[in-house]
Structures are given as C-alpha cells and as structure tokens.
C-alpha cells in the first residue's frame, strides 16, 4: 500500500478521498489554487501546497506543477478524483514517466476507452447492444450523409465528451448545420478536441448506468445499476439505485453482460458503463466513464463497499477480496446534488442526521463560492430498506438541510422528490423537459 497520496482535485471529492486515505492510514497531500487557500480539503490534508492562480488552467489542470509537487512531497501516487485530469491520458503517462502511480486506468486504456466512437467499436465485439451510430466524422458534409443513413432524429456527441458538454439533438436535416457548429465549438472549448460522432436518438428512454470494479488479475464485479434520468441539459441532478425501471431478471442479465464486456476489453479500476433503456426494456450501450463518478456514493450506501478505498487498493496491485456472489443489493439509495445558484459566502450550515443519511460536502462556515469552478456544493445521500421509506427519508433530509449565504437548488430537489412521477418511479429523460 502507498504511504502517501497526492489528491489532484478540490471540493467535496478531494475531501472524500482524503477521508478514505486517513481511514487506510495513508498520508495525504492537497494542492490548491489561490482561490481555495481556505478550503476544507486544504485544512484536512497532512500537507498542502498552492500550485497556481484561481483559473483551473493555472492550477488544477497544471500537469507539470502537480507532478513536481508530488515528487517534492514524496508521494507515491496521485488520485485525480473526477473532472480536471481524471480522464487525461497524457497526465497518466506523465505520472508513470516520473515514477508515480495514477489512481485509475493506465494511459493506453484511457486513450482507447475515452474515445467514445472507438469504444463502441470495441463493445460491438461483446454481447452488449450498441446504439446505432458512426465513428468520428470529419466534416459537416460527412455528418449529413451519416445522419441521413441513420435516420433523423440523431444525437451529435463529442468524442472526448463528458459532463453533458458537446452534445446536441438534431431533429431535422435543416438543424444539422447549426448543431454541428455548436457541438464542435463546445467540444473544443471544454476538451481541446472538436471531433464529434452521431448516434440514433432513442426516445423515450431512461439513463441507466452500471458500476464496475476490476483488478489487474482479471477479477471483475458489477456493483449494480444507478438511474440517472433526472437531468437538465444533460447535467445529472439526482440518482438512485437500484433503478425502479429495471426488472430484477433484466438487472441480473445486464450485469452479467457488463462484467463479461469489461473482461474482454481488459479494463482495470473503477468504471461505469452507461446505457439508454428504451420502452421495450432494451439496454443500449452509450459510453464508459473510466473514473470515479460523482454519484458513486449511492452505490456505496447500497452495497456497503467503499469505492474510493478499492480504487486505491487496485492501483496498488491488491486483488479484490470479494466476488460477484457476495454483492448484496437490498434496499434503495438516493442522491440529490446540491448546487450553488450563484456566488456567495456561507453564513450558516445545518446538516441533517439520522441512520443512513450522508452529506458529502466541502462546506464550512465562511466558504466562498467563486465563479471559477463547478457549482456542486455537496451530495445528500440516504438509504432505506424500501424505496418508499427512502423517499420519505430524503424529503425529511432536504427539509432539514440549511445552507445560508449561498443560493442553492434545495427547493427544486424537494419538488422533484415530491413529484408523483418520481414517487411512482414512472420517469425518464423527459422529466425535466428534456426532449
């Protein structure tokens, strides 16, 4: 096991990783921007270093500065969390070149699997069904030919995408030109790569993902599914596990196929396979996230396995000490993402309590929310033995959560969990008006 890990991130995920390391007896190194000088993750880590200005490009995306800091601090590994450098193959390769372990897949796997169009070609060699689509298209003209062949409506998606960016729905041919320009421009801005591909638009559908964990010895387990259909502009708002839209027999089958697919592509680490579930109960593979997901917490609450600790153990070469037959998915868990609706300074925080209520956050009194980073303030997660009890628990927890000084989406989350469509589990990607 590593004796010291640098966490190349900020906010609640940096806090989450530091806490996991402390429980494992691993020393931690925090890095921070000038804007995060008083942040919680800086205070919690054993060591902390300022690595640049408030812009992410000056600090959390500054690969050379992070590598130099890790070497200076004597860290053996770097945990990237999610976002920032978590899916950056160049950074993973730079870690390896400098004798540091990147807590995640190797750079070759990352390059192979992060290109969504290429990944679909690999998945077609497994038993999973892939949404009809194309490889990367090099021009608007090629996109037009492909769209006519697939049949409208189609989705334009960034090959190097993530976080809902670089995605456009194209219903008719006359909309393609503007959508192509918008998707490629957004992809260049967000990822430095403007390549896009097309896929058939499946409607109506649920967004269901499967959490997997794999070690370097060929052991792969699936830790169940999460329903991520509650989205606005392709940004997830809340997630639950298991999905109320997946029958148990279908769940068992898709989990088996997912494990088989991950073995065939040779993936190592924590990862997520994302699907669209159509009205006929068919699972259509969309993409794979080769990192920790924001919503990993609901899976942890349901199955009782710490994904962050196992990410670190797998990176250290430790084999999984449990098999698929030991995974128990009894009960129901739900996560509500608590986002800032503007800048501000935290005046007062009251966190709900009780059995199986968890709030992953970076908030402390005086925390300043700046415009430089993601709006996520924390994640409120609850677990109960039944979905009905889980919903009651979440409503109570949202009513009890108090954040003063920063505008938030708490009221909106409460309206969602009180909506009859959500209560009955009869929801899909159209819930928030997405079409």
Which of the residues are catalytic?
291
- Confirm if 236 and 250 have CB atoms less than 8 A apart: no
To 5 degrees, how large is the angle CA 425–CA 427–CA 432?
Answer: 135
**CA–CA separation, 110 and 47 (whole Å):** 29
Tell me how long the chain is. 435
Please report which residue ranges of 25-115 form alpha helices under DSSP H: 40-44, 63-73, 89-97, 107-114
- Start-to-end CA distance of the chain, whole Å, equals 47
Helices and strands per DSSP (H, E), number in the chain: 14, 20
- Confirm if 145 and 173 have CB atoms less than 8 A apart: no
Q: Which positions ≥6 away from 140 have C-beta within 8 Å?
A: 176, 177, 180
**CA–CA separation, 178 and 186 (whole Å):** 12
- Confirm if 66 and 107 have CB atoms less than 8 A apart: no
- Confirm if 284 and 202 have CB atoms less than 8 A apart: yes
Nearest to 276 by CA among 170, 429, 119: 429
- Confirm if 390 and 302 have CB atoms less than 8 A apart: no
**CA–CA separation, 409 and 63 (whole Å):** 33
């Amino acid at each position: 096991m590593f004796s010291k890990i640098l966490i190349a991130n900020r906010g609640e995920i940096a806090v989450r990783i530091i806490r996991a390391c402390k429980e494992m007896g691993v020393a931690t190194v925090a890095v921070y921007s000038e804007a995060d000088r008083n942040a919680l993750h800086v205070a919690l880590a054993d060591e902390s270093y300022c690595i640049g200005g408030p812009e992410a490009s000056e600090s959390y995306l500054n690969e050379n500065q992070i590598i130099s800091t890790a070497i200076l601090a004597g860290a053996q590994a770097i945990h990237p969390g999610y976002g920032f450098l978590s899916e950056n193959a160049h950074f993973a390769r730079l870690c390896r070149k400098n004798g540091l372990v990147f807590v995640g897949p190797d750079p070759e796997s990352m390059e192979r699997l992060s290109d969504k169009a290429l990944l679909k070609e690999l998945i077609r060699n497994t038993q999973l069904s892939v949404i009809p689509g194309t490889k990367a298209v090099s021009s608007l003209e090629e996109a037009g030919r492909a769209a006519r062949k697939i049949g409208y409506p189609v989705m334009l998606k960034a090959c190097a995408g993530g976080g809902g960016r670089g995605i456009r729905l194209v219903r008719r041919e006359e909309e393609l030109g503007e959508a192509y320009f918008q998707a490629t421009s957004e992809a260049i801005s967000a990822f430095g790569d403007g390549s896009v591909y097309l896929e058939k638009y499946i409607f109506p559908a649920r967004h269901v993902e499967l959490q997997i964990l794999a070690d370097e010895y060929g052991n792969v387990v699936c830790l169940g599914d999460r329903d991520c259909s509650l989205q606005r502009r392709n940004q997830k708002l809340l997630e639950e596990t298991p999905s109320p839209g997946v029958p148990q027999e279908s769940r068992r089958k898709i989990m088996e196929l997912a494990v088989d697919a991950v073995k065939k592509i040779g993936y190592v680490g924590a990862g997520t396979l994302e699907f669209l579930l159509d009205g006929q109960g068919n699972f259509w593979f969309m993409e794979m996230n080769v990192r920790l997901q924001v919503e990993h917490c609901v899976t942890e609450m349901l199955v009782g396995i710490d994904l962050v600790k196992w990410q670190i153990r797998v990176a250290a070469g430790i084999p999984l000490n449990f098999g698929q037959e030991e995974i128990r998915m009894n009960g129901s868990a739900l996560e509500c993402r608590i986002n800032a609706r503007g800048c501000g300074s935290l005046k007062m925080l009251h966190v709900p309590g009780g059995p199986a209520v968890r709030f992953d956050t970076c908030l402390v009194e005086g925390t300043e929310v700046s415009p430089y980073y993601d709006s996520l303030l924390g994640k409120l997660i609850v677990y109960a033995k039944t979905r009905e009890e889980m919903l009651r628990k979440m409503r109570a927890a949202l009513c009890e959560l108090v954040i003063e000084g920063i505008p938030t989406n708490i009221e909106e989350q409460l309206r969602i969990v009180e909506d009859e469509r959500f209560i009955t589990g009869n929801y899909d990607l159209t819930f928030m008006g997405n079409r």
